[in-house]
Structure 1
């Protein structure tokens, strides 16, 4: 928030889009890209990032229109406002790309991620792991005498917090799907 209590970058349609395009501060952005579902498209999109030294923090891809042969790529990346604008412009120039949406600036969106956590422990550590899992509303999807596998769906920060609490209790392995995101409203 700034001094006027106006959220910066609230919407690209807002009169209060106050993001400084010359800022050197790194911002996290969630991009949704609608592409043709054909071989090599994902490689071209990823090549754009690797060829310019940009990082992808999260990447999910799935077919969203079987009859129209379209897939949706949801990616989370970080960069200065100028870098983010450059990424969006370059993505839009790739031929099989139909639409590029920056969910971070286009308004409110919902982000979720699935994580599987293998926690090994005995005695009090097992009881504590189950107690924390209940607080986070994680499901036990596998259980042995030595370990649990928890399933947790939530924001990336919720999964990070759960992992941080499980590490001292015996977190042995972690698998995450990456962020799936969609704009709120109509």
Structure 2
């Protein structure tokens, strides 16, 4: 159940954690216990010795709740640092999607034309379908998927959002 509030805002949080079993469940549980949805979740090992992972969570909520979630995340023992990219300053966010489209004739030609406009790469093709790879902002991917729905969308797989501060400052 997602709780909706008038002043709900979308936030992108990055969480640096010890790479250990159970940490993802603890973090997800923190959101679940408060009735807030995780819109996107990605995890990657980021250190050479495999000791630290970076978790990126996209969620929505009123600012006081986001502040409370951030404070509670910071109190978890294996958490090194929590950064709310939305509040910290300019940042970049991207997502990768694989989009399978079936089509023949004009629909096939149109799907290729639109893919070219969106700079989507064809990563697999048969005589009756394509799999496109598209990287970009979530809105770009949403728009591409909506256009492909009209041309024979079969399946969509998305990685979730990854975000990073712009410039030389790290999270």
Q: TM-score, normalised by structure 2?
A: 0.94
Aligned residue runs from structure 1 range 131-170, under 5 A: 131-170=113-152
* 1:175 Cα offset (Å): 0.1
Match of 2:91 in 1: 109
- State the match for 1:15 in structure 2: none
3-state SS in 2 of match to 1:153:
strand
The Cα of 1:66 is off from its aligned counterpart by 3.1
Determine if the alignment matches structure 1 residue 95 to structure 2 residue 77.
yes
Give the 3-state SS of the residue equivalent to 1:169 in structure 2: coil
- Give the aligned CA root-mean-square deviation in angstroms: 1.1
Paired residue for 1:176, among 133, 136, 158? 158
Taking the aligned partners of 1:84 and 1:48, their CA distance within structure 2 comes to: 12
Structure 1 runs of 4+ with >6 Å offset: none
SS of residue paired to 1:95: coil
TM-superposed CA distance for 1:68, in Å, is 6.2
Q: In the alignment, is residue 71 of structure 1 matched against residue 53 of structure 2?
A: yes
Choose which of 111, 123, 135 in structure 2 pairs with 1:129. Answer: 111
Q: Which of the two has higher C-alpha Rg?
A: 1
**Separation (CA, whole Å) in 2 of partners of 1:41 and 1:71:** 10
The TM-score normalised by the length of structure 1 is: 0.86
Query: Residue 41 of structure 1: CA displacement?
Result: 0.6
Q: Structure 2, unaligned stretches of length 5 or more?
A: none
Match of 1:31, SS state, is strand
Q: Which runs of 5+ in 1 are unaligned?
A: 1-22
